[in-house]
Amino acid sequence: MVIREIPTNGAWDQAVSLDKHIVRSVPIGKNEQGYMQFDTERTEIGEAVFQLKYRLDFSKVEYLAKQIVYALTSNNFPKIEVVIPMPASKARTKQPVTEIARKVAELLNIDFNEQTLEKIKPTGAMKDLETYAERVAALAGCFEVRDAMSKGPWNALVIDDLYDTGASLEAACFTLRKYGNIRNISAIAITRRH
């Protein structure tokens, strides 16, 4: 695991990504439906995220949550009081990032809150948009804060699965900054594209 700090522009106070998602990916030809196939090598963390998100292997939740807790303790994060998952772009019956965030809160014995930060308009998958500007435009006004915390202000940890341009995480954290019950925002992206 190669933890890397994510620079801030004021959206969060401290953030890191745990590791790269993909080490290498080589095209190997098209399948019967005409879609290009790839020989892909992922980091250990990247493979766990892939298995969880795309193969629905929820046994990976605990492993990923433990890696997040390790990153929090080894990178001098401020005391975290509530864990907030990034709202998902794709509807699923069980959301991978939500389950990881819930497990992190359980391991840290702190509050978990999935109602405070909500996605109020669909954006589609950010990976399908090429530029930062396209992503920022797609994300404009898509997050909203619900007054779902009874006390505060809290030091919050926002968890996301993949950091690429940072547009989604920035939009979510800037929205959280407007909420009086949030004092400090830390963020962890489980994997990063580069």
pLDDT given at position 124: 63
Question: Residue 60 corresponds to which amino acid?
Answer: K
Cα angle, residue 151 at apex, residues 100 and 121 outer, rounded to 5°? 55
Residues 120, 147: contact at Cβ < 8 Å? no
- Do residues 167 and 131 lie in contact, with contact meaning Cβ atoms separated by under 8 Å? no
pLDDT value, residue 19: 93
Q: Please give the Cα distance from 49 to 137 (Å, whole number).
A: 27
Look at residues 165, 143, 7 and name the one whose alpha carbon lies nearest to residue 86.
Answer: 143
Element (H, E) at 25: strand 22-30
At the topology level of CATH, where does 4-22+29-192 sit? Rossmann fold (3.40.50)
Give the per-residue pLDDT at 163: 87
What is the per-residue burial (b if ≥16 Cβ within 10 Å, else e) of 146-162? eeebeeeebbbbbbbbb
Residues in contact with 50: Cβ distance below 8 Å, sequence separation at least 6, in sequence order: 21, 42
Residue-level pLDDT at 148? 64
pLDDT tens track, the chain, 194 positions: 888 888 888 889 999 999 999 889 888 888 899 888 888 899 999 999 999 988 989 999 999 999 999 999 887 888 999 999 998 777 777 889 999 999 999 999 998 988 888 888 777 666 667 777 777 777 777 787 887 666 768 899 999 999 888 888 888 898 888 887 888 999 999 999 87
CA gap 4, 47 in Å, rounded: 18
pTM over 0.95: no
Strands 82-85 and 111-112: parallel
Nearest to 23 by CA among 54, 44, 49: 44
pLDDT, position 127: 65
- Tokens 């090598």 appear where? 41
Task: State residue 126's pLDDT score.
Answer: 62
pLDDT at residue 9 in the model: 82
In the prediction, which pLDDT does 157 show? 95
Cα gap 181→152, rounded to integer Å: 5
